[in-house]
Amino acid sequence: MTDSQRALPAPGILYALLAYGSWGLLPLYWKLFGNTPAVQVLSHRIVWSAVFLIAVLVIQRRMDEFGKLWRSPRLLVTLLTSATLLSCNWGIYIYGVNAERVVETSLGYFINPLFSVLLGCVFLGERLNRWQIFAVVLAAMGVANFIIDLGQVPWIAFALAVSFGLYGLLRKIAAVQPMAGLAIETLLITPIALGFILYWQAAGTGQFGNSLPLTLLFIGCGVITSMPLLWFNNAAKRLPLTTLGFMQYMAPTLQLLLGVFLFQEPFTRTHLISFSLIWIALAVYSTNAFLKTRRSP
């Protein structure tokens, strides 16, 4: 192995830190919108993300990828479905942050990897070994403890895990380039989002243009949505999947820390037990995945 090959992971680690770090700190951005309705923030996020992603594809001269996808009706149907799931995920996350339930949103993204394992087992015929089964059972115990002790279903966490897990499943089946695929997804639902924005503006309830800071925040939704994806794509090209798998927990960990220490959300004994079970489950699952990769030729 040459020195240049050894140095290759360094930028990959940096890109991964930027991607997962920015995703983990997103609650700080959504909090800036104050009492702005989540659906209005979501609509602007969709529209400005579409604008930004198309601009990136034009600059990178990758519109041919975009054109090929646009000419495939079957892929368009799949991407429209995945776009709906992604929009639900984005909207629920924004709502959860501004409803002061950041801790619960972090729970959803901790559960998500293990939910994705179950989806792979059910829909893709993937088999779980005994350690993976153990991890899933531990996570289920953590969620059950939350429901039994607090007497409520963490619906935001469930909705985030399910919507993003199903989104990932569809994107795996579709097998399209991440950047072009996301551009198509956002563009497919942009007419609906734009229609809502124009209606709110005409009715006088739209907040776009009310103040320069808020307007810039709306436009910035496209940047803060798309840049982490660009960083993630660069990280994925340079790092092993197992390394990315370990680092993905950085985002919900940061969200949890923000919720508890900055936003002063409650973190009770029940939260501690539930999160501990899920953290152990993730440690078991990630270690097992790492060892399987090391044993592979």
Do 293 and 242 contact (CB within 8 A), yes or no?
yes
The sign of the torsion formed by the CA atoms of 150, 156, 157, 161 equals: positive
Regarding predicted confidence, which is higher, 64 or 27? 27
Q: pLDDT value at position 241? A: 65
pLDDT at 201 over 90: yes
pLDDT at 33 over 90: yes
Q: pLDDT value at position 297? A: 54
The closest alpha carbon to 192, from 89, 45, 34, belongs to 45
pLDDT at 152 over 90: no
| Beta carbons within 10 angstroms of residue 184's beta carbon | 27
- Which helix or strand (DSSP H or E) is residue 102 part of? helix 102-123
Q: Quickly state the pLDDT bin for 293 (edges 50, 70, 90).
A: low
> Percent of the chain at pLDDT above 90?
56
Q: Quickly state the pLDDT bin for 9 (edges 50, 70, 90).
A: low
Kindly list the distances between the CA atom of residue 214 and the CA atoms of 44, 93, 137, in Å, as whole numbers in the listed order.
11, 19, 44
Spell out the residues 6+ positions from residue 47 whose beta carbon is closer than 8 angstroms to its own: 190, 193, 194, 197, 222
pLDDT digits (tens, 9 = 90+) for 213-272: 999 999 999 999 989 988 987 887 777 766 777 788 899 999 999 999 999 999 999 999
The sign of the torsion formed by the CA atoms of 155, 121, 170, 233 equals: positive
Q: Which domain holds residue 84?
A: 3-295
Q: pLDDT value at position 245? A: 72
Kindly list the distances between the CA atom of residue 93 and the CA atoms of 4, 37, 145, 226, 284, in Å, as whole numbers in the listed order.
40, 13, 23, 16, 27
Q: pLDDT value at position 233? A: 78
Q: pLDDT value at position 144? A: 92
The predicted model scores a pTM of 0.89
Task: Pick left, alpha or beta for residue 126 (phi over 0 → left; psi -120 to 50 → alpha; otherwise beta).
Answer: beta
Q: pLDDT value at position 127? A: 83
What are 219's two structure tokens?
Answer: 């436009």
pLDDT digits (tens, 9 = 90+) for 94-149: 999 999 999 999 999 999 888 888 888 888 887 888 998 898 899 999 999 989 98
Q: What is the dihedral of CA 127, 135, 108, 241, to 10 degrees?
A: -60
Establish how many alpha carbons lie within 13 A of residue 172's alpha carbon, considering only the half-sphere containing its beta carbon. Answer: 12
What are 168's two structure tokens?
Answer: 């990932």
Q: Quickly state the pLDDT bin for 92 (edges 50, 70, 90).
A: very high
| Tally of structural domains, the chain | 1
Q: pLDDT value at position 3? A: 40
What are 146's two structure tokens?
Answer: 């939350």
Regarding predicted confidence, which is higher, 264 or 175? 264
Q: Whole-angstrom Cα distance, residue 240 to residue 247? A: 11
Buried-exposed string 247-278: b where 16+ CB fall within 10 A, e elsewhere:
bbbbbbbbbbebbbeebebeeeebbeebbebb
